[in-house]
Amino acid sequence: MHGTGVGSALLRHVCARQAVVRVDVNEQNPDALAFYRRRGFTVTGRSPVDDAGRPYPLLHLQLR
């Protein structure tokens, strides 16, 4: 479904309805990082583990 606009539409919806301004992205997922950066998010921090304590680094992003 890449490139169909579904992800962008969902992101616009949650940003508008839920006031989402922060997201976490797995550092090992460059496509997801690029997706959010193209939509105005910037990296504001990093965690070496995910929320469950597993060794999957997370990048913290915030909408400009």
* pLDDT exceeds 80 at position 1: no
Residue 56 lies in a domain: yes
| Number of independent structural domains in the chain | 1
Residue 14 located in a structural domain: no
Within a domain: 15: no
What is the rounded distance in angstroms from the CA atom of residue 6 to the CA atom of residue 15?
Answer: 14
DSSP assignment letter at 55: S
Residue 59 placed within a domain: yes
Domain that holds residue 47: 21-63
Give residue-wise pLDDT tens across range 22-40: 999 999 999 999 999 999 9
Asked whether residue 52 is assigned to any structural domain, the reply reads yes
For residue 19, pLDDT over 90 is answered with no
Is residue 29 a part of any domain in this protein?
Answer: yes
Assess whether pLDDT exceeds 90 at residue 53.
yes
9 occurs within a structural domain: no
Cβ partners under 8 Å of residue 46, min gap 6:
27, 57, 58, 59, 60
Residue 2 within a domain: no
Could you tell me if residue 53 is left (phi over 0), alpha (psi between -120 and 50 degrees) or otherwise beta? left
Strand, coil or helix: 18: helix
Average pLDDT over all residues of the chain: 94
Q: What's the mean pLDDT in 6-13?
A: 92
pLDDT band at 56 (very low <50, low <70, confident <90, very high): very high
Do the Cβ atoms of 62 and 21 come closer than 8 Å? Answer: yes
